[in-house]
Amino acid sequence: MPILEVENLSISFNQYTSSFKQNNIQVISSLNVSLEEGEILAVVGASGSGKSLLAHAILGILPDNATISGTIYYNGEVLTASKQASLRGKEVAFIPQSTNYLDPLMRVGNQVRTSVKTGDATAAQRAVFKRLHLQPTVENMYPFQLSGGMARRTLLSTAIVSDAKVIIADEPTPGLDPVVMKEALNNFREFADNGCAVMLITHDIESALTIADKIAVFYAGTTVEVAPVEDFTGDGEALRHPYSKALWRALPQNDFIPIPGSQPHPSALPTGCLFAPRCKEAILECGKKQPEMRNLRNGMVRCIHAT
């Protein structure tokens, strides 16, 4: 049974376009994704495809003007707002993107200690800093004094000390040099090997492939495909969705061929399959109705052509 399951999740925002006109923008539509214990799921997709919002929705920290529909299950139970509040920081840990997520006026050691829920906070913080090769002096520093790598490791240590079962990491790698990046990714692998479930949100497919078990491909606010990592190979013939294939082929080490067009803006989504306007295989039926997510060859796909 998956520890975390997201079913038909849709998120929309109420926005004032002018002082009296409200606009409802759907940023995530009928999204499905599931997370197993001991597994790393990499969520990949272009910027603006709604990846971070997925993380915020699972944690229940979306802004007030967001409307959510669909269901999230945690351990088989429906994840309600009050349940989310009690799980945050205890069973579900979040690793944010940058130093901006650390309180600028609080020493980082103290910030890590606030994540410790049981036992000696100081000892736990020192142990994790040692494990991540952070100097003992770092705990007395303020966020502005940290280098990019140090900040990343500090954020990571907040998740480690929390003993969470589910870890959601939002873009944990950009801006890191290859050595530090590898180390960070190995930490995630270690989490998973210790029985945690890890959701790795990233636009860096390449590094995601090195550690993930499954890849969920995001396009315009929904998952178009969930595939085991082994399928990302060769020309991408094992992949199920035309967008995943195109994404794979666009990588520099593969064919390096981009497809024309760009991801539609959430305020101007096409009626049928979201990818249809850019898809070479699109037929009349694709433009009518968004295809359902269906199981296919040990993965999932949202395309009527896929075999």
Partner 1 sequence: MRKNVGRKIGIFLLLKGLRMLTLLVAICFISFLLVKNSPIDPIQAYIGADMLKVGPEQREKIAEYWGVDQPVMVQFLNWGSALLAGDLGTSMIFRRPVADVIGERFINSLVLMLTAWVLSGVIGFVMGVVSAMKKDTWIDRIIKWYCYTLASTPTFWMGLLMLIVFAVWLGWFPIGLGVPVGVLAEDVTIANRIEHLILPAVTLSIIGVANVALHTRQKLVEVLASDYVLFARARGERGFTLFWRHGLRNVALPAITLQFAAFSELFGGAVLAEQVFSYPGLGQATVEAGLRGDVPLLLGLVIFSTFFVFAGNLIADLIYYVVDPRTRESRML
In the complex, the smallest distance separating the C-beta of residue 270 from partner 1, rounded to whole angstroms, is 32
Q: Is 126 in the site for partner 1 (CB under 8 A)?
A: no
Q: Considering the complex, what minimum distance in angstroms separates the CB of residue 103 from partner 1?
A: 5
CB 73 within 8 A of CB 7: yes
What backbone phi and psi angles, to 5 degrees, belong to 174?
A: -60, 145
Smallest distance, Å, CB 222 to partner 1? 24
Q: Does 158 bind partner 1 (CB under 8 A)?
A: yes
50 phi-psi bin (left φ>0, alpha ψ -120 to 50, beta other): left
Cβ within 8 Å of residue 238, ≥6 positions away = 227, 230, 231, 232
Structure tokens that stand for 218 in this block: 């995001």
- Cβ nearer to partner 1, comparing 158 with 244: 158
Exactly one of 27, 53, 79, 93 binds partner 1 (CB under 8 A); that residue is: 93
Binding to partner 1 by residue 283, rule CB under 8 A? no
Q: Is 6 in the site for partner 1 (CB under 8 A)?
A: no
Of the residues 23, 67, 78, 103, which one makes contact with partner 1 according to CB under 8 A: 103
* Interacting residues with partner 1 between 37 and 76 (CB under 8 A): 56, 59, 61
Among 30, 32, 34, 115, binds partner 1 (CB under 8 A): 115
Which is closer to partner 1, CB of 202 or CB of 222?
202
Pick between residue 53 and residue 274 the one whose CB is nearest to partner 1: 53
Separation of alpha carbons 243 and 257, rounded Å: 13
Closest CB 289 distance from partner 1, rounded Å: 36
CA–CA dist 22, 30 (Å, integer) = 23
Nearest approach, Cβ of 277 to partner 1 (angstroms)? 34
Residue choice 74, 94, 188, 218 for contact with partner 1 (CB under 8 A): 94
Strands 222-228 and 299-301, how do they pair? antiparallel
Q: What are phi and psi of 116, to 5 degrees?
A: -75, 125
83 contacts partner 1 (rule: CB under 8 A): no
Q: Cα–Cα distance between 55 and 50 in angstroms, integer?
A: 9
Nearer to partner 1, 158 or 222 (CB): 158
Per-residue HEC secondary structure of 106-155 comes to CCHHHHHHCCCCCCCHHHHHHHHHHHCCCCHHHHHCCHHHCCHHHHHHHH
Cβ closest to partner 1, residue 67 vs residue 186: 67
* Strand, coil or helix: 16: strand
| CB of 39 vs partner 1, minimal distance in Å | 21
List the strands of the sheet with 77-78, edge to edge. 22-35, 4-16, 66-74, 77-78
**Comparing C-alpha atoms, which of 187, 208, 191 is closest to residue 132?**
187
Q: Is 253 in the site for partner 1 (CB under 8 A)?
A: no
13 binding partner 1? (CB under 8 A): no
| Residues forming beta bridges with residue 227, ordered by sequence position | 215
Least distance between partner 1 and beta carbon 100 (Å): 4
User: Site residues for partner 1, window 135-154 (CB under 8 A)?
Assistant: 142, 144-145
Residues that bind partner 1 (CB under 8 A): 56, 59, 61, 85, 88-90, 93-94, 96, 98, 100-106, 114-115, 142, 144-145, 158, 162
